[in-house]
A = this chain, B = another copy of it.
Amino acid sequence: MSFKLLKTSKKSKARLGTLKTAHGIIHTPFFMPIATKGSVKALRTEDLKKLGAEIILSNTYHLFFKPGMQILKKAKGIHGLMDWHLPVLTDSGGYQVFSLGGNKEYGGEKKNLVKITERGVEFRSVYDGSKHIFTPKKVLEIQEAIGSDIRMILDVCSPSDSSHEQAEKDLNTTLRWAKASQTAHVETHNYVSLPKSKHLLFGIVQGALFKDLRLKSVEALTKMKFDGYSIGGLAVGESMPEMYKVLDYTAPALPQDKPRYLMGVGYPEQILESVKRGIDMFDCVIPTREARHGRLYLWNSPSLRAKRSNPAFPAKFYHTVNIDSAKFAKDFSPINAKSKLPELRNHTKAYLRHLFSAQEPLALQLATLNNVEFYLDLMAKIRQAIKAEKL
């Protein structure tokens, strides 16, 4: 078994565990910084190690076009390409097909260039407009070329406002593709003879906001026996109560002995709330993308009252600042006095504000380092809180 459940919280459904992959063990719950195109934007591989990242996520869609499968194979996958020798998870590329390909201006008129067929999904490349089809097998072939440790099946992500009819149709397609993916995974897989370090394949739960469809999805995927289960189609426009409600009935229905991955989530409080509902894995562009716009995630000092009552996470445990705001021009306090990185301890907010104002590339590095450290620290604190029965 790749996943070991070490502990379930007495206060919530939060879980503590480890996930073993071909490139090492990851402590759950964890957050994956996103290396969209084979690099966490503005960071070095060495930075990720220093910050204690145990796994990163990369995007199948982008790597398929750049650098392409041929170069990926020659590079010995993304691990060789990036000189990153810890675990990597890849998505299926399907999400980018929809988010980058839908309703584009093309040939003078707007049309949806993405077409779902039984075989797969047809689309045009965002890079050069060329026509492509991603099938359940194709995306696993690409993921094999990438050499990722955890791989996703191709799925149809229903919008949050889908009708029951549409969501059911999408779900049925996803389930048929899930079955095809399992066959394809074996066929494309070079490591089947090494069960202990084999690459993991995750099924993806869909069903929009409909309980019956979500449970049907869980039941069907569970029967197929995946190495882990992703929950897709959330954080795509629905309200937070709606999202938490889906998690409330979906997570407990999933097998206890497999890892659960909530795709694309989210803000710190969303991660915290989802962990309490039994989620083990997260990824999100927020820390890296917002860093590039000067938005920093910072810990609050615990108030006296919070210290006395000693909760793991007080109501407001963090805040964000727009570091490019004029109010930081003369703030010579460190970016983060408690950072493990000398860069963030020694450089001041005033300097970072100056770097953003002067559009210096170093601004992106420092802001991204800060936010990725915040997110990884958040997960470490969450794991600590579960251990200490405080979550």
Residue A81 lies at the interface, judged by CB distance under 8 Å to chain B: yes
Q: Which residues of B contact A358 (CB under 8 A)?
A: 37-39, 62, 66
Chain B residue at minimal CB-CB distance from A357 = B66
Interface flag for A71 (CB, 8 Å): yes
| B360 in contact with A39 (CB, 8 Å) | yes
Closest Cβ of chain B: how far from A362's Cβ, in Å? 5
- Segment with Cβ contacts to B, from A115-123, A196-204, A306-314, A348-356: A348-356
The residues of B that contact A42 with a CB separation of less than 8 Å are 361-362, 365
User: Are B362 and A67 within 8 A (Cβ)?
Assistant: no
Q: Determine the distance from Cα of A86 to Cα of B82 in the docked complex, in whole angstroms.
A: 33
Say yes or no: B351 contacts A43, CB within 8 Å: no
Quick one: which of A296-344 are within 8 Å of B by CB? 329-330, 332, 342-343
Closest to A360 in B: B39
Contacts of A46 in B (CB 8 A): 342-343
Chain B residues contacting A354 (CB-CB under 8 Å) are 37-38, 66-67, 71, 81
* Closest B residue by C-beta to A351: B81
Contact with B along A183-209 (1 / 0, CB 8 A): 000000000000000000000000000
- Chain B CB within 10 Å — which of A330, A355, A358 has the most? A358
Q: Are A41 and B361 in contact (CB under 8 A)?
A: yes
Query: Quick one: copies of this chain in the complex?
Result: 2
Q: Which residues from 123 to 148 on chain A have a C-beta closer than 8 Å to any C-beta of chain B?
A: none
A75 at the interface (CB under 8 A from B): yes
Contacts of A289 in B (CB 8 A): none
Known: A44-B365, A46-B343, A330-B71. A360 touches B81 (CB 8 A): no
The reply on A83 being an interface residue by CB < 8 A is yes
Does A256 belong to the interface (CB within 8 Å)?
Answer: no
- In whole angstroms, what is the CA distance A346 to B71 when docked? 17
- A365 CB contacts on chain B under 8 angstroms: 42, 44, 361, 365
Is A347 close to B, CB under 8 A?
yes
Flag whether A223 is at the interface (Cβ < 8 A).
no
Which of chain A's residues 259-314 have a Cβ closer than 8 Å to chain B? none
- Shortest A40–chain B CB gap in Å is 8
Residue of B37, B45, B360 touching A41 (CB-CB under 8 A): B360
CA separation between A46 and B344, bound complex, in Å?
11
Set of chain B residues within 8 Å of A114, measured between Cβ atoms: none
Question: Which residues in chain A, 36-82, are within 8 Å of chain B measured between CB atoms?
Answer: 37-39, 41-46, 62, 66-67, 71, 74-75, 80-82
User: Are the CB atoms of A362 and B71 closer together than 8 Å?
Assistant: no
Judged by a CB distance under 8 angstroms, whether A89 is at the interface is no
Question: B360 touching A71 by the CB < 8 A rule?
Answer: no
Quick one: which of A39, A348, A362 has the most chain B CB within 10 A?
A362
CB of A97 closer than 8 Å to a CB of B: no
- With A41-B362, A42-B361, A67-B354 given, can you name 17 additional A-B contacts, CB distance below 8 Å? A37-B354, A37-B360, A39-B358, A39-B360, A41-B361, A43-B362, A45-B347, A46-B342, A46-B343, A66-B354, A66-B357, A67-B350, A67-B357, A71-B330, A81-B354, A83-B346, A83-B351
Can you name 14 A-B pairs with beta carbons within 8 Å? A38-B354, A39-B361, A39-B362, A41-B360, A42-B365, A44-B343, A45-B343, A45-B347, A62-B358, A67-B350, A75-B350, A81-B350, A361-B361, A361-B364
Q: 3 closest Cβ contacts across the A-B interface?
A: A37-B358, A42-B361, A39-B360
